[in-house]
Structure 1
Amino acid sequence: MNTLQDKAVGSLMGAAVGDAIGGATEGRSAEEILHRYGGYVDGVVDYFMPDWRTAKPMSPYHKGEGHVTDDTLMTNLLVSVYAKNRRHLTAFDMADDLVPLMMTQVTWIPELEKETVPLLRVFLAEKWLVTRLHYGHVDPREAGVGNVVNCGAAMYMAPVGIANAADPDGAYAEAVEIAGAHQSSYGREAAAVFAAAVAAAMAPDATVDSVVAAALRLARDGTRSAVEACVSAARPGQDWRKAIPLMRNAVRPFDSVGETYREPDQDSRRPSRLRSIEEVPVALGLLVVTGGDVRKTVLAATNYGRDSDSIATMGGAVAGALGGEASVPVEWVETVGTNSRLDLRSTGVTMADVAQEIFTSDEAAWQRRSEAVATLSGATVGGR
């Protein structure tokens, strides 16, 4: 049986290698990926565009070659917030702790090939946190309203699932709370569902089926419908290559971005109760196809394209939690760790320690409540 630490390490390792490998193909179609690499991507590959420094002046990022993206940068910042507070988090912790780290914590940014603050790497939807919370002084519980509705909050919610290990309901509630500082509508919902999926995968007897069941039980509105569609389209044991168009077809009615990922439709990324982000449903569908295999899930997400780094991050996080550290390909861990200058194990160890402390605190709080309710009902403490 995997231990709490083993599952936590596996989850965050899986997320990081998924992010780094999927990053190379982000924003591309499955057809473009096949053409560029002469076939399916089967591991760490080099950049998609040789002229990456100048091709996109607004985002001159060196993707590929084992470089993690903002998904992992934000995940690691959230781990730091948990490590400082060592309790369940609220939207106010995002304002008090996460935002200052984004603005001041100098770290190596692999895609920029230099040390600087994470704020200078993250996408506009994540810069929103700083604009609204630091400069706008908005109530953290409402700061996500008005932002681009995307996967920005969902992509770094794996630590919430670990903090609430084996309690998907608790993970869902905590993610809804803290993601409110960042996202609204189906972007916030996706963050909660992803956190719940990781929490479900942290259970000792977890399976892909139990993870999907938890996600479907908790998901609401278009997110639930999209997850249901992708899972229904998935064929367990199918070659993941054949599953890619099936997943795209399944999620298409719910995805607001449109067919050309880099040219979003006019009504994209707006609040809706009928829409869903693409990443969480597709990641869960691919997990069903691969049986929760980390390697296959990450490669399927990478070759799916579009927001491939986030799909691979989410799929890798859940699969890594299911299988533990040994399920994450060691050659990927070594390459990504070296090329991104990261210790991919330490964040999982930290989160496992924090999760144990949180559980101990929760257990004590539940005991106090049990005693209070027993007194109120006239029962003997511990009695029926």
Structure 2
Amino acid sequence: MTNDTDHTGMLARARGALTGLAVGDALGMPTQSMSAEQIGQAYGGPIHGFLDAVDWQPIAPGMRAGSVTDDTEQALLLARRLIEDGGELDVLAYAHDLLRWEDDMKAKGSFDLLGPSTKAALVALGEGVSPELTGRTGTTNGGAMRAAPVGIAFAPGERLAAAAYRSCIVTHNTVQGVDATTLVAAAVSYGVGGANLADAVHRALVLTERRERSGCWSAKASVLARTRMAVEWVESEGCRLDDAEFARWLREVVGTSVEANESVPAAFAIARRHAAEPFDALCLAASVGGDTDTIAAMAGAMIGACLGPDAFGRERRELVERVNGLGLDALAARLVDLRTGAGR
């Protein structure tokens, strides 16, 4: 049962959500967009800690161990916008935040960090297309990867669902994009409120299914249906597999691509199976191949929301903070203030 009156506990779990997001992202940074075979070739086998990216890493060649990617950067951008707007997200201002962030990344020499849906939406936005229209084809996981701040700032319910929708319409205004964003935000929200991982996962599925449907139609498979099937399979069969067999099932049956209907079910399946092994969960996500940084970041946000900031190891949390200068604790506190009314 969630308990939104436990402010100290909420603050710890909010810190855990942002910590899990960043730690997962940093673990998956050197393996993103690589196959499991390439990961083994580059790093000698599955990931067991933070690593410098090899110089032939397709997205982040040579990046320093412990560095986060656009997953964390965009999530924290959203957190700051939510705080500045007192929880009433200004979609147009957020769209321009994304454009400025992209310009900053280009100025630093990073030209290939954005996912396909976000990149296409920002190009359209820069050409003057309304932010209400730019995300009509976005079925990838960009909205979901940055959803953790919404889950911290809002208790489960209609306001959370509305905020999740507003947070993703600029880039991912499709049924798949909105469902994916709502699922991750809801799981984090239930965790911050005190639910254990199993309850957070199942309640997120129910909330997402029962809310008013939104987003543009796409012929691609349902994120919600595929996430439910993945979770149910993990609970009935997946616990019997070893890690190698489980990772193979993720790749071959669920999928680990940037598409939301693959990466979000994969993140939920990993989080549900490894709730008692939080750091191992993120290492598995970083090793599975595909969109590893985003899968690990989403799984980490959900697990951290349920277990708190030290679930992944205090030294690892401090390393990621030190390498990136993120200021997670202060952001978590202000997002909790929004949730409790102190920030409005």
TM-score of the aligned structures, taking structure 2 as reference length: 0.83
> How many Å separate the matches in 2 of 1:250 and 1:172?
29
SS in 2 for 1:100: helix
Q: Which amino acid is 1:122 matched to?
A: L
Identify the residue that residue 175 of structure 1 maps to in structure 2. Answer: 164
Choose the corresponding residue for 1:100, options 73, 96, 100.
96
> How many Å separate the matches in 2 of 1:231 and 1:249?
16
SS in 2 for 1:278: helix
How far apart are residue 80 of structure 1 and its match?
A: 0.9
Q: Which amino acid is 1:86 matched to?
A: G
For 1:293-336, what per-residue CA distance to the aligned partner results, in whole angstroms no more than 9, with x for missing partners?
42122111111120010011101001111011221312222222
Identify the residue that residue 118 of structure 2 maps to in structure 1. Answer: 126
1:251-262 equivalent positions in 2, closer than 5 A: 251-252=254-255
> How many Å separate the matches in 1 of 2:102 and 2:232?
44
> How many Å separate the matches in 2 of 1:102 and 1:50?
28
Whether the aligned pair in 1 keeps the contact of 2:124 and 2:134 (CA below 8 Å) is: yes
When structure 1 is superposed on structure 2, of 61-70 and 232-241 the one drifting more is 232-241
Give the aligned length: 323
Identify the residue that residue 367 of structure 1 maps to in structure 2. Answer: none
Is residue 339 of structure 2 the alignment partner of residue 355 of structure 1? yes
Q: Which amino acid is 1:100 matched to?
A: H
For 1:330-379, what per-residue CA distance to the aligned partner results, in whole angstroms no more than 9, with x for missing partners?
22222222222333333222222222227x86xxxxxxxxxxxxxxxxxx
Identify the residue that residue 247 of structure 1 maps to in structure 2. Answer: 250
Q: Which amino acid is 1:291 matched to?
A: A
Is residue 1 of structure 2 the alignment partner of residue 4 of structure 1? no
> How many Å separate the matches in 2 of 1:357 and 1:223?
32
- Compared CA separation, residues 79 and 294, structure 1 to 2 (3 A): same
Gaps of 5+ in 1: 262-268, 270-275, 362-384
> How many Å separate the matches in 2 of 1:33 and 1:215?
32
Gaps of 5+ in 2: 1-5, 210-220
Is residue 184 of structure 2 the alignment partner of residue 194 of structure 1? yes
- Compared CA separation, residues 100 and 85, structure 1 to 2 (3 A): same
> How many Å separate the matches in 1 of 2:113 and 2:51?
21
RMSD: 2.9
1:167-316 equivalent positions in 2, closer than 5 A: 167=156, 169-183=158-172, 184-204=174-194, 206-219=195-208, 222-234=222-234, 235-236=238-239, 239-252=242-255, 276-291=260-275, 293-316=277-300
SS in 1 for 2:79: helix
- Compared CA separation, residues 102 and 173, structure 1 to 2 (3 A): closer
- Compared CA separation, residues 88 and 242, structure 1 to 2 (3 A): farther
TM-score of the aligned structures, taking structure 1 as reference length: 0.75
When structure 1 is superposed on structure 2, of 277-286 and 243-252 the one drifting more is 243-252
> How many Å separate the matches in 1 of 2:159 and 2:46?
38
How far apart are residue 223 of structure 1 and its match?
A: 1.5
Identity %: 26
